[in-house]
Amino acid sequence: MPARKPFVGGNWKMNLHTDDAVALAKSLADRFDATDKVDVVICPAFPYLAMVGKTLKDAGSGIKLGAQDAYFQADGAFTGEVSMAMLKDIGVDVVLTGHSERRHVINETDVLINAKTLAALEAGLEVILCIGEKIEQREAGQTHQINMAQLEYGLAGVTAEQMDRVTIAYEPVWAIGTGKTATPADAQEAHDRIRRCLKFGFEWGEAIGDKVRIQYGGSVKPGNAKELFGQADIDGGLIGGASLKADDFVAILEAAC
């Protein structure tokens, strides 16, 4: 199995305004410099992307800048939307697609998520494609089916070459922001199935599926990060609530080192 460098993302969601966003980015840049051991991205809300990016750059940090969403069209009459090229223009490196809050609160479909994933990759951005089952799907024994379907739709048309810039985030919906975490064994089982789908379910083949990083997301905290990241197919995490506090996020990053 190839050594996969861990990748940890901080998804700030619709939180933090100017002062807090800049202060948090600065604090992370000052306190965490092991980006040779773990790739790190922070994803502020749209209005703060440029200033958080500048804060990271001024501090000489290797932490990447991520956007929580973007639209798939290149430009034109799409009021309220932001294109991949606009994000690239202001220094964004990574885009999240398919986050469960966009699937289930904003009602994004698999077709739209796929279009966004392809557009981000075509624009030269990295993508974190989020997948995961709802509680009723888990209780009905459909976890793997849901994950496979979201993977297959989400990655349709992605080339072998583009897969170098794709990370999967497995985020069981019932674990997001609820304080409930999948046990490391349950998470590993889901990740193993996702890995097998990436290796054998697509035309690009086994070696590429082996290299893809699969993050776990859903109530990751300093207290459970080490054990989760210690699982064979868990290559880091996508962190919501605990990424809003420098102490907690740095502790989680250290757990991934």
191 is catalytic: no
Pick from 102, 170, 240, 252 the residue near ligand PGA by CB under 6 A.
240
Catalytically annotated residue among 101, 108, 133, 171:
171
| Distance in Å, CB of 230 to ligand PGA, minimum | 18
- Orientation of helix 49-58 relative to helix 18-31, angle to 10°: 30
Question: By C-beta, is 44 or 240 nearer to ligand PGA?
Answer: 240
Pick from 126, 171, 233, 235 the residue near ligand PGA by CB under 6 A.
171
In which residue are the tokens 């749209």 written?
46
Is 4:36 a contact under the CB 8 Å cutoff? Answer: no
> Applying CB under 6 A, what is the total number of residues that bind ligand PGA?
13
SS (HEC) of the chain? CCCCCCEEEEECCCCCCHHHHHHHHHHHHHHCCCCCCCEEEEECCHHHHHHHHHHHHHCCCCCEEEECCCECCCCCCCCCCCEHHHHHHCCCCEEEECCHHHHHCCCCCHHHHHHHHHHHHHCCCEEEEEECCCHHHHHCCCHHHHHHHHHHHHCCCCCCCHHHHEEEEECCHHHCCCCCCCCHHHHHHHHHHHHHHHHHCCCCCHHHHHHCEEEEECCCCHHHHHHHHCCCCCCEEEECHHHHCHHHHHHHHHHHC
Which of these ranges, 77-85, 134-142, 234-242, 248-256, lies near ligand PGA under the rule CB under 6 A? Answer: 234-242
Using rule CB under 6 A, residue 239 touches ligand PGA: yes
Using rule CB under 6 A, residue 219 touches ligand PGA: yes
Using rule CB under 6 A, residue 98 touches ligand PGA: no
Pick from 7, 11, 41, 208 the residue near ligand PGA by CB under 6 A.
11
Catalytically annotated residue among 99, 101, 108, 191:
99
Using rule CB under 6 A, residue 209 touches ligand PGA: no
Question: By C-beta, is 57 or 180 nearer to ligand PGA?
Answer: 180
171 is catalytic: yes
Q: What are phi and psi of 166, to 5 degrees?
A: -115, 135
Pick from 238, 252, 253, 256 the residue near ligand PGA by CB under 6 A.
238
Which of these ranges, 32-40, 80-88, 158-166, 240-248, lies near ligand PGA under the rule CB under 6 A? Answer: 240-248
Using rule CB under 6 A, residue 10 touches ligand PGA: no
Pick from 32, 67, 241, 248 the residue near ligand PGA by CB under 6 A.
241
The partner residues of 238 in beta bridges, in order of sequence, read 9, 217
Which of these ranges, 28-36, 135-143, 235-243, 248-256, lies near ligand PGA under the rule CB under 6 A? Answer: 235-243
- Residues near ligand PGA (CB under 6 A) are 11, 171, 176-177, 217-220, 238-242
Q: Which residues are catalytic?
A: 99, 171
